Amino acid sequence: MAKTTKRRRGPQQTAKVELDVPVRVGQTVEVEITGLNHEGAGVGRIEGYTLFVDGALAGERVHARVDHVKKNFGFAKLTKVSIASTFRSQPPCPLYDRCGGCSLQHLAYEEQLRHKQQIVRDNLRRIGGFQVEGDGAITVHPTLGMSEPWRYRNKAQVPIGEENGALVGGFYAEKSHSIIDMHECLIQHQKNDEAVATVKKAATDLGIKPYDEVRGSGLLRHVVVKVGVKTGEVMVVLVTTEETIPQRDKLVEAIRTEVAGVTSIVQNINPDKTNVIFGKKTVTLWGSDVIYDYIGAIKFAISARSFYQVNPAQTEVLYNKTLEYAGATGTETVIDAYCGIGTISLFLAQKSKHVYGVEIVPEAIEDANRNAKLNGVENATFEAGPAEVVIPAWKEQGIRADVIVVDPPRKGCDEALLTTILEMQPERVVYVSCNPSTLARDLKVLAEKYEVREVQPVDMFPHTGHVESVALLVYKGFGYAETTFGAILNHPFF
């Protein structure tokens, strides 16, 4: 065993802590890769010690340099592939090895989809304790992917810096705040690239200084671009430290002239020393306050700060699956917890008697009501507040949900909400998740009264390690013998 020394700093002294592990920082090791973790790093073992190797693939034998060690696992960088996987692919992005944004470009896309299915299965088994193979197992379907998994992002959030007197903008290098200047990103809509390039050049020409987060000086912090994929409308948001922009009219004119389809130019003022992108104040410099886009037949107004899914094509796939699992026939009452700006709610309203949406962010509820009005939807009610408070209040008012849909953030559902669902006992629960581990954790709680029938992974973010899923849960009190969703719909209850 090699002993690696780490320094643990206390308030008054520095202590040396020796880790009894078989590798040391800076050492180059040869290791066989047996799998991938949820972030897409290769998983290998040396004398039983787990080593995560960025850039390595399952089935490969590689050389890697150890960068960091902990008691039970360590991290390493790939230096050489001795035996390559048949699924290894040449990343088309020239910044791939520096950016860190698309950690799976080196893995063939079809294998990415299989990997994401396996990630969901592994979490359900390991964290949820569910059976995923054999009789009585949860069905985890193959991941629904894209026919063209490039240029899918409709939003760019680009930090701005300076290099040799010119503005640069791009993504941060992995695990740093060093900006990598980017001329194009292969997962961004092309209009995003065009708009960012236009702002960088115009701001450089006009002498507008970027924000320096170390010194706390400068003006332009971020450029945010949003694209309505189906409408072609473009919004450009300039995030600044102050309200006054030198030669503002010339900057606006340059954006209007050079960016095709631009209908909205907005300024957001964020004077705080923070990593949060947006500040509290937003003003429209030119054009509309919003742009519009469609998911399926539903039209959405998108403001500078409103949340909107970044991959609308796959969002439609995800929401159609949610609608299918909800089993709505036009007679059901549906509650949509974590409803946001009403995206899922308005989808569900197409085939439901009434949809009640709850969201803790008041501004999102304002957007939800506006989007309902925009689409002429009258069978949707939205209320701001914690779901675990609002939903029981609705119950006291006599509102009984046939279906509850949850689409929580990465941390999963609030424990109180899970308790509320178990108490309300809707016939079905549809759980939309962006985090397989918290999905498995929450399904384990709901399994007290619900049978988890099936889970459908959806690839919302190709070439990254992220995977969305939608799960169907049916209340055990019905005593159904059928095991397929089709059988549920054919049951006399429906």
407 in a labelled binding site: yes
Q: Give which of 364, 355, 357, 294 is closest to 326, Cα–Cα.
A: 355
Q: Is 309 one of the annotated binding-site residues?
A: yes
Ordered by where they begin, the domains of the chain are 27-83 (2.40.50.140), 155-295 (2.40.50.1070), 309-488 (3.40.50.150)
Known catalytic residue at 434: yes
Task: Compute the chain's Rg from CA coordinates.
Answer: 25
Do residues 162 and 174 make contact, with C-beta atoms less than 8 angstroms apart? no
At 330-376, the pLDDT tens digits run: 999 999 999 999 999 999 999 999 999 999 999 999 999 999 999 99
Is 338 among the annotated ligand-binding positions? yes
- Whole-angstrom distance, CA of residue 327 vs CA of residue 430: 10
CA distance 419 to 406: 13
User: What is the phi/psi pair of residue 336, to 5°?
Assistant: -110, 100
Q: List pLDDT tens digits, range 395-441.
A: 999 999 999 999 999 999 999 999 999 999 999 999 999 999 999 99
212 is in an annotated binding site: no
Diameter of the chain by CA atoms? 72
pLDDT reported for residue 173: 75
Q: Residue 443 half-sphere exposure, CB side, CA atoms within 13 Å? A: 33
Asked whether 300 and 341 are in contact (CB, 8 A), the reply is yes
Tokens of 330: 């036009």
- Cβ burial of 336 (10 Å; 0-12, 13-18, 19+) is buried
Q: Of 99, 102, 185, 434, which one is the catalytic site residue?
A: 434
Rounded distance between C-alpha atoms, residue 404 and residue 427, angstroms: 9
The mean pLDDT of 472-482, rounded to a whole number, is 71
Give the Å distances, CA to CA, from 238 to 158, 252, 275, 308, 409: 10, 10, 16, 18, 26
Average confidence score pLDDT of the chain: 91
- Amino acid, single-letter form, for residue 421: I
Q: State yes or no: pLDDT of 14 exceeds 70.
A: no
Cα distances from 460 to residues 145, 205, 237, 468, in angstroms, run 8, 38, 24, 6
Q: Confirm whether pTM is higher than 0.75.
A: yes
